Amino acid sequence: METSDSSDFTKLHNFLREHGVDFVSDVKISHSAEIHFALFVSADHVSAKSGKGVTSHRQMKLLQQAAKAETGLVVEWIVTPGQEAAAMEASIQQLIEVNHPGVVQAVYISSPKITPISVWVETKTTLDSRLQSLLKALIKQFLDLYGIADPLLMFGDSVNLPSNPTIMRKLKIHGPLTPEQFVEVLVSARLVIPNLRWLQTRLDAFRKQGFVIRSPEGKYSLTEPGLDLVPFGKNRSSSDVERALALGRRKW
Amino acid sequence: MRIVGDHLAKVAEKSGDVAQFDPFGRSAFNRYYYSAFLAVRAALRKIDNKWASPSHKAVPEVLKGDVLTRLKHQIRKSQSNGQITESEGMRLFHAAQTAASELSNLLSSARETRRVADYEPEQLVQKSGSVITLGECSLDTAKAWERRVETQTKTILRVYGDLGLI
């Protein structure tokens, strides 16, 4: 007698054949109550667009929906690590090690078939900007050989200049602040401020736009339109909650 | 979790007897999965408390769904009020999207390896020289899960920070 598992398996097999699915490396019966089958596909076969032997995240999602609608089967996709990305990661790490020994701890890259690709570089120490530029050039040169242009390079330890939304949020939480006090707040949040003038220029630009006001004592605060720009919510990381906590901690 | 995994892996690596390296090896895979899962959960908690205790199955979907939807919404808002430029918005979204997609893939395949380790004792851990594997996953790959997850969650948290969301 045919078991339910084997009849479902036949249904799935037929479904995959009818839809021309040629990139699944394995099919397993799922042990989860809500999912019938796990379909395995190597990351080497996941691309930005689907085609012969390759699929896309969009196609996988559509097939998942179609499987449910046409066969009543719930499937989940499991994307297994690709050989291509692993080989590239190892090569980039080796290349950096040869040129700049002892600098890099690990290199991770996103699927090379989906561009622009992301490259994460974990370093053993904080890199100065000169060494960071050298590594960037080296990685770009390497990826160029594979026809991969404009990668997004991210250094794990790098500290950033604060973005406009970050400045506004910090001012909402800690304001009113003099520029000197504000620099301290931003630096303690592991942000880089090139100099006091840089921050003052940013604050004055916000002031001209009507988002920030300066008191006669030289302290900056957000205006009502400025407050409207800062995201808020009900959770612990909300700017409103952080503002309340900062006020509680303040020495009056 | 990872130090427990490292200890178990060391025992498995030292042993030449399948009766030893199989149970220690599969337990190491289990611990490495949990260390990766907990690292993702810690990052999600920093963004929103309601994502503090997601189910194992839900995490990959939360990453590709809610986490990115909230970002997309804020990017649009910040672009429309001139806080960030169009290209900045695109760059931020792409960085988070790639990280979320990679994390989601990693967690679902790691979860599957953990499932085999825990529930399919008939599928033995294999040892060839110093390389230990379970199915298609090597112990060295599993060892790197947590670090990889930490790197990629950092990207998502940074984008949230750049948009003033955290």
CA–CA dist A88, A222 (Å, integer): 47
Contact A209 B82 (CB under 8 A): yes
SS3 A50: coil
**Residue A103 CA: distances (Å) to CA of A152, A157, B35, B148:** 20, 12, 26, 17
What share of chain B in percent tops pLDDT 70? 100
CA–CA dist B56, B34 (Å, integer): 10
Would you state the pLDDT for residue A163? 93
Contact B136 A116 (CB under 8 A): no
- pTM of the entire structure? 0.89
> Which pLDDT band holds residue B52 (cuts at 50, 70, 90)?
confident
User: Is A35 within 8 Å of A76 (Cβ atoms)?
Assistant: yes
Question: Domain residue spans in chain A?
Answer: 4-80, 84-155, 164-249
Set of chain B residues whose Cβ sits within 8 Å of the Cβ of A114 = 98
Phi and psi at residue A123, to the nearest 5° = -105, 160
Chain A residues within 8 A (CB-CB) of chain B? 31-32, 34-35, 38, 40, 43, 57, 76-81, 106, 108, 110-111, 114, 116-118, 120, 122, 152, 154, 156, 160, 163-166, 168-169, 209, 229-231, 233, 235-237, 239
What share of chain A in percent tops pLDDT 70? 97
Contact B165 A154 (CB under 8 A): no
**Which H or E run includes A221?**
strand A220-222
Contact A231 B74 (CB under 8 A): yes
Smallest CA–CA distance from B81 into chain A, residue: A229
Chain B residues within 8 A (CB-CB) of chain A? 46-50, 57, 74, 77-78, 81-84, 88, 91, 94-95, 98-99, 101-102, 105-106, 108-109, 112, 115, 119, 136-137, 141, 144, 147-148, 151-152, 154-155, 158, 161-166
Q: Which CATH class is domain A4-80?
A: alpha beta
Would you state the pLDDT for residue B150? 95
Set of chain B residues whose Cβ sits within 8 Å of the Cβ of A82 = none
> Which pLDDT band holds residue A225 (cuts at 50, 70, 90)?
very high
Would you tell me the crossing angle of helices A83-99 and A129-145 to the nearest 10 degrees? Answer: 140
CA–CA dist B109, B56 (Å, integer): 12
Residue type, A197: R
Would you state the pLDDT for residue B122? 95
pLDDT for A122-154, tens place per residue?
998 888 889 999 999 999 999 999 999 999 999
Number of H helices, E strands in chain B: 7, 3
* Burial grade of B142 (CB within 10 A; 0-12, 13-18, 19 or more): buried
pLDDT of A2 over the 50 cut: no
Set of chain A residues whose Cβ sits within 8 Å of the Cβ of B152 = 108, 120
CA–CA dist A94, A100 (Å, integer): 10
CA–CA dist B166, B160 (Å, integer): 6
Set of chain A residues whose Cβ sits within 8 Å of the Cβ of B115 = 31
More confident residue, A240 or A30: A240
pLDDT of A161 over the 90 cut: no
Contact A235 B98 (CB under 8 A): no
Respond yes or no on whether the N-terminal peptide bond of residue A116 is cis (omega within 30° of 0): yes
Would you state the pLDDT for residue B157? 95
Set of chain A residues whose Cβ sits within 8 Å of the Cβ of B74 = 231
pLDDT for B68-120, tens place per residue?
999 999 999 999 989 999 999 999 999 999 999 999 999 999 999 999 999 99
CA–CA dist A144, B17 (Å, integer): 46
Q: Is the domain defined by A164-249 classed in CATH 1.10.10.10? A: yes
Would you state the pLDDT for residue B54? 82
pLDDT of A188 over the 80 cut: yes
CB atoms within 10 A of CB B25: 27
Question: Domain residue spans in chain B?
Answer: 2-162
pLDDT for B11-41, tens place per residue?
999 998 999 999 999 999 999 999 999 999 9
ipTM value, please give it: 0.87
Strands A220-222 and B137-138: unpaired
Smallest CA–CA distance from A167 into chain B, residue: B164
DSSP string, A117-161: PEEEEEESSPPPHHHHHHHHHHHHHHHHHTT--S-EEEETT---P
More confident residue, A30 or B46: B46
> Which pLDDT band holds residue B55 (cuts at 50, 70, 90)?
confident
CA–CA dist A132, A155 (Å, integer): 8
CA–CA dist B57, B111 (Å, integer): 8
Contact A108 B164 (CB under 8 A): no
Q: B131-136, long-range: CB within 8 Å, 24+ apart, which pairs?
A: B132/B9, B132/B12, B132/B13, B132/B21, B132/B25, B134/B25, B134/B26, B134/B29, B136/A80
Q: Is the domain defined by A84-155 classed in CATH 3.90.1150? A: no
Would you state the pLDDT for residue A3? 52
Set of chain A residues whose Cβ sits within 8 Å of the Cβ of B137 = 81
Q: How far is CA B116 from the centre of its chain?
A: 17
Would you state the pLDDT for residue A56? 94
Closest Cα in chain A, distance from residue B11 (Å)? 25
pLDDT of A209 over the 60 cut: yes
CA–CA dist A25, A35 (Å, integer): 18
pLDDT for A56-102, tens place per residue?
999 999 999 999 999 999 999 999 999 999 999 999 999 999 999 99
Smallest CA–CA distance from B80 into chain A, residue: A229
Residues A224-246: b if buried by 16+ CB within 10 A, e if exposed: eebbebbbbeebebbbbebbeee
pLDDT of A5 over the 80 cut: no
Would you state the pLDDT for residue A71? 94
Q: Please indicate whether the domains covering A4-80 and A84-155 agree at the CATH topology level.
A: no
Smallest CA–CA distance from A32 into chain B, residue: B57
CB atoms within 10 A of CB B120: 14
